[in-house]
Every structure is written in C-alpha cells, then in structure tokens.
Structure 1
Amino acid sequence: MTGLILPPGQGRKLITKAQEVTFKATAAQGSSVSVFEVVVPPGFDVGAHVHSHSEEFFYVLEGELDLLAFEPTTRTRESWHDWESPGGDRVVRAGEGACMFVPPGTPHAFRNATDKPARMLFHSSPSPDHELYFEEIAEIWSAGTSVDPEAVERMRRRYDVSQITPLIYAPPTLLDAESTTEPAV
C-alpha cells in the first residue's frame, strides 16, 4: 500500500472568481475523507447551511475568518452574522491556528470580512460529496452566465447542502459600492 505526500502548493486546483480550492486527499486516491486547501477572498461569505450526514473540520492557516457552528435561537434568512445560540454562543472571528468542527445537522458558515485573503484547510466526510460539489460550483462560477436557482438548489440537495442564508461574494472593490449576492452557488 502506498500513501500520499504532497509538497506545498501541490494538488489539483480549481480556481474561480470566488475561491481557489486545492484538492489534497480525495476518493480517487482511496481516501474516505476529502481534504482541501481553500483560499477565501475578501468579501466571500459561504452563507449559513447545514448537512444532514456530512461532517466537516476547518483549520485557519492564514488570515481571519468569521466562523459559526451552532443552532441559533432564531434562524434568519438574510444573514447569519448576528445569530446567537440559546447558550449565548455567537459568531467568532478566528485567526491563524483556530479550528471548527461541524457534526451533521449543525448550521455553520464562514466569511472573510477582512481586506486580505484567508487560507484554510478543510476536511469533509464522507468522500467524495464535497469534491463533486466543488467541481460543479467551479463550472457554475466559470460559466459567467445567469443560472437557474432551482437547478442550483437541486444540485445542493444532491450533495447534502441545505442553504439557510445566501452565499455572498462582495470583493473589496464592491464593498464600498453594492454587495452582490450570488444565488447561483
């Protein structure tokens, strides 16, 4: 049996206008988990969502991300940034070395509210759900055309993603102007 060793910067890359994802360990390599390195640009907000059977682990390598991993007292559809749990948990600004574990059924989200890119190691199980999801998202982002929101919702359901608040990508050049909500992903 042979393991896998990847030098820094190596792995299959998916680069879109919204994210850069490098596949590190995948089902194709015999892994039962998927491991990715993700560059999160300024202004990117994945939106709160939940998985019924997937679990995830996030580790901040560089920069800062706002992280959420709890069921709020009240779910709002427009934003998760002010959510609070019945026990008083709130969104955390997490820096280098911080991590977040998300068991199945737990609402969670991350966003880069700073003006610098952040980098994280992302681990999801079971493999290959998130691998396929990232590939399909990359196709949608690169198409540059409007996408049928119902088709996107069907895609999300196929990959165990139940979106609660919208994905938002507002690059720094747009932060002073108008935020853009990308309902397509």
Structure 2
Amino acid sequence: MTATEGLLVPPGHGRVVETPAQQVTFKVTGTHARAASTFEVVVPPGFDVGAHVHARSEELFYVLEGELDVLAFEPLVRTADDWQQWRSRSGEGVVRATPGTVIVVPPGCPHAFANPTDEPAKMFFQSSPPPDHERYFEELLEILDAGGPPDHEAIAALRSRYDIQQLTPLRHR
C-alpha cells in the first residue's frame, strides 16, 4: 500500500487467528493504518471479556450478528466479580446490544461485553492506536487454546503488558 492507494479487504479475507471456539480476523493492522487496527471478532456463547479499562486505547464496537451484553461507563461502585449489576451515576446499566449497535469507549472508561446466548455473536472491532490489540489477540487466543479452564495468571500478565487493567474476571465456557 502506498500513500496514493487504499486498502480493500473483501468479505472472508484478512488474517485469521482462531481456536476451536473463537475467531479474530485481522482486517486492518498497524502495517496498513496509523490510526487504528480493525478486526472482525466472533464471540462464542458464554464468553465474558470481563470489565476492564485502558489508559491509552480508544475502542469502537459494532455488533454485526447475534447479541451481546455490553457496558461502557464508570459505575457508582466497581464490584470485583460481576459487572452485569453495575449502574452508572445516571442510572444506566448493562445493555443488550443487537445488530447495528455501536459502542464507543474512550480511554479511561470501564467497559465489558459478554455473549449470554447459545449462539455466536460477531462484531466489528476497532482499536486505536495500533498495534497493541493485534499482539494481544494473538497471545490471548494462544492462552485460551491451551485446553482446560483459562489460565487467569497468564491472562492477567498479558493484559498488564497491553494497557488493560482488568476489573472483573474473564470467563470462557
């Protein structure tokens, strides 16, 4: 790609990183763009990323298929185990995001998503600046593909390296 050429990534294309239960397709990486990395993410049933916050990263989520429970606000009280019960100062709580829902998360804003259904969900995900989330996804899927329950110590170490302060646990069926 040169300064006078764009990038076109057709449906079904991009670099795929996957486990038997999860799939992330890298659509636009730091190699292609200075502003953001872009991914198509399949969120399996029962997956809960856990509430977390980034000091530097800004994120955008767009639900393409399925349903996700999401939040993007500072709660009145940060409980350590279950973000699903959090409430914002204005009384907002968790929202069931369906196709067409957009979630924008500025740096410093606690956020989370989970798939409470029995069907996979798919979302468009953009993170700025690149390439932190590219490396993070590669390493996270390696940990989750190891078999058995997630290695929470390895995930915690990974997240601390990539500007992710975990507030509640990641859960993976």
AA at the equivalent of 1:47: G
What fraction of aligned residue pairs are identical, expressed as a percent?
Answer: 59
1:9-48: CA deviation from partner (whole Å, max 9, x where unpaired): 1100011244210000001224431000001111111000
Q: How many residues of Structure 1 are paired with residues of Structure 2 in the alignment?
A: 170
Measured in 2, the distance between the counterparts of 1:88 and 1:152 equals 31
Task: Report matched runs for 1:121-132 at 5 Å.
Answer: 121-132=124-135
> Contact 1:62–1:118 (CA<8 Å) still a contact in 2?
yes
Matches within 5 A, 1:12-161: 12-144=15-147, 149-161=152-164
Structure 1, 146-155 or 1-10: larger mean CA deviation = 146-155
| 2:28 counterpart letter in structure 1 | A
Measure how far apart 1:151 and its partner are: 4.3
Q: Which moved more, 1:52-61 or 1:135-144?
A: 135-144
Greater than 3 Å deviation, 4+ residue runs: 145-152
| Letter paired with 2:74 | E
Q: If the length of structure 2 is used for normalisation, what is the TM-score?
A: 0.92
**Aligned-partner Cα distance in 2 for 1:94–1:150:** 30
Q: Which residue pairs with 1:2 in the alignment?
A: 5
Unaligned regions of 5+ residues in structure 1, if any?
171-185
CA distance in 2, matches of 1:160, 1:145: 26
**Residues 133, 159 of structure 1: 8 Å contact kept:** yes
Aligned residue identity for 1:64: E
**Alpha-carbon distance, 1:116 to partner:** 1.1
CA RMSD of aligned residues (A): 1.6
Report the AA paired with residue 86 of structure 2. W
The letter of the residue matching 1:143 is A
Q: Sort the Cα spacing of 1:37 and 1:82 in 2 relative to 1 into closer, same or farther, 3 A.
A: same
Do the aligned residues in 1 keep the contact of 2:143 with 2:154 (CA within 8 Å)? no
The change in CA–CA distance for 1:145 and 1:67 in structure 2 (over 3 A counts) is closer
What is the SS of the residue equivalent to 2:69?
strand
**What's the CA shift for 1:140?**
1.2
* In structure 1, C-alpha distance between the alignment counterparts of 2:114 and 2:150, rounded to whole Å: 23
Unmatched segments (≥5 aa) in structure 2 = none
Q: Which moved more, 1:147-156 or 1:74-83?
A: 147-156
State the alpha-carbon separation in 2 of the partners of residues 94 and 151 from structure 1: 29
> Aligned AA for 1:65?
L
Shift, 1:99, TM fit? 0.7
TM-score normalised per structure 1: 0.86
